[in-house]
Chain A
């Protein structure tokens, strides 16, 4: 399947990348290509130019920055899944990365690409929402930080300007928090029919902080605020968990499709949330 023609550049630095984008404003960033190239094959995207980010050193690497982990946008899913610092301080990100696609996809796909692509059933958005992660973005107009919450606007829609690129994500350390990601994959696509990411911080037998984020269920990944509120401050028992799980889709417009009706998906999200919470005990 021959792709339609496009121009190609591999900038060597962030400055060069930003400059190249200013000169070719309709260009698209290319990271792992795991979403963009299939979209071009299906003619869902026809960019006149691709700017390959793989040569930009500033987008690489995972760094400890005190209270945060700094994760370069070009970090591949396989690296995120295995990195010892991520596994220790932001385990949920590793657990979600491990569940993405297949080995070939995890070897190429990147954190920055996954967030920018904003598939409503993608795994990382849920994990990064639950971890209160922040995105660092750069354009010719400068650098800004925005929360993953503010980044995700809807299906394949983000708050990024077309010429802006994600440089890194910053995750506040969750060392010692109990974390889990449960995914019910669609049997054909492998994407989440329901994916639930949980991070719980307990002290003295009570929940100090509870984060629950859900993917695959609505038009974008979301935090289950009411379920979290039920857990906060509680000494957790079966009953509290069940109550929280029952509220996981509260206020959401739950998606229905040929594979999973809205009622089924809501039920599945509740069951998956309850089991995930129980599994952490």
Chain B
């Protein structure tokens, strides 16, 4: 390949619009920017953590069009036209999401490094399957690695979050 061709590639910028936590973000971006880099470095949404950066650990998990995705293994340009929810967008205003409440109640974190990914994974799993069994929760949590290995409390928290979410849908007295 000629140097000129390389230079053209480096300069290629692609217009994208990604809806992030409810707000449309329009920009022109180089194709080699990962969604994790777009979130953290371009938008300062540093709640999304990058652990392994090789799609193994799940710390970078976000919701893309409602489905859990590792943001270190999708290009920002691939998310063009899609809706992304990061941990910053999980709560509604000042009210924590039931998954966050449950993580707090069950002490489902130690150092907290994997927690943004664990929260997003849990939220995504419960959207997909609102009444998971214990074994479905464990299988789903295959999508994160917690280096503090506090899985037991994470499982408890997800089970509790499922109940809290069911309560929200069916409030007392309804």
Measured between beta carbons, the chain A residues less than 8 angstroms from B140 are 103
Which residues of A31-48 have CB atoms within 8 Å of chain B's CB atoms?
Answer: 33-34, 37-38, 41-42, 48
A107 touching B9 in the complex, CB below 8 Å, given contacts A33-B74, A41-B54: no
B contact residues around A49 at 8 Å (CB): 9
- Interface membership of B149, Cβ < 8 A: no
Given the complex, which residues of B lie within 8 Å of A10, measured CB to CB? 77, 80
Q: Type the 1/0 row for B74-111, where 1 means its CB is closer than 8 Å to any CB of A.
A: 11011010000000000000000000000000000000
Whether the pair B9, A7 counts as a contact (CB closer than 8 A) is yes
Contact of B53 among A4, A7, A41, A190 (CB under 8 A): A41
Report if A20 contacts B (CB, 8 A). Answer: no
How many A-B pairs fall under 8 Å by CB? 87
**Residue B130 at the chain A interface, CB threshold 8 Å:** no
Contact of A107 among B31, B37, B58, B67 (CB under 8 A): B67
Measured CA separation A2–B12 after assembly (Å)? 15
Known: A5-B30, A38-B54. A103 touches B75 (CB 8 A): no
- Cβ-defined partner of A102 (8 Å) among B12, B30, B58, B72: B58
Contact of B116 with A by CB under 8 A: no
B-side interface mostly: mixed
- Smallest beta-carbon distance B31→chain A, Å: 3
The answer to whether B73 and A102 have CB atoms under 8 Å apart is no
A108 in the interface, Cβ–Cβ < 8 Å?
yes
- Chain A residues, CB < 8 A from B53: 1, 41
Mark B1-12 against chain A: 1 for CB-CB distance below 8 A, else 0. 100011011101
Q: Report the Cα distance A172→B30, complex, angstroms.
A: 43
Q: With contacts A8-B14, A103-B128 known, what are 10 further pairs, Cβ within 8 A?
A: A4-B32, A6-B32, A8-B75, A30-B78, A33-B78, A41-B53, A54-B78, A103-B125, A104-B55, A104-B69
Residues of chain B whose beta carbon lies under 8 Å from any beta carbon of chain A? 1, 5-6, 8-10, 12, 14, 30-34, 37, 53-55, 58, 61, 67-70, 72-75, 77-78, 80, 121, 124-125, 128, 140, 142-143
Residues of A within 8 A of B (CB): 1-8, 10, 30, 33-34, 37-38, 41-42, 48-50, 52, 54, 78, 102-105, 107-108, 190
The 6 closest A-B pairs by CB, nearest first: A8-B31, A102-B143, A3-B32, A102-B142, A107-B67, A1-B53
Q: List 7 A-B contacts (CB under 8 A).
A: A1-B34, A3-B32, A5-B32, A33-B73, A33-B75, A48-B1, A103-B142
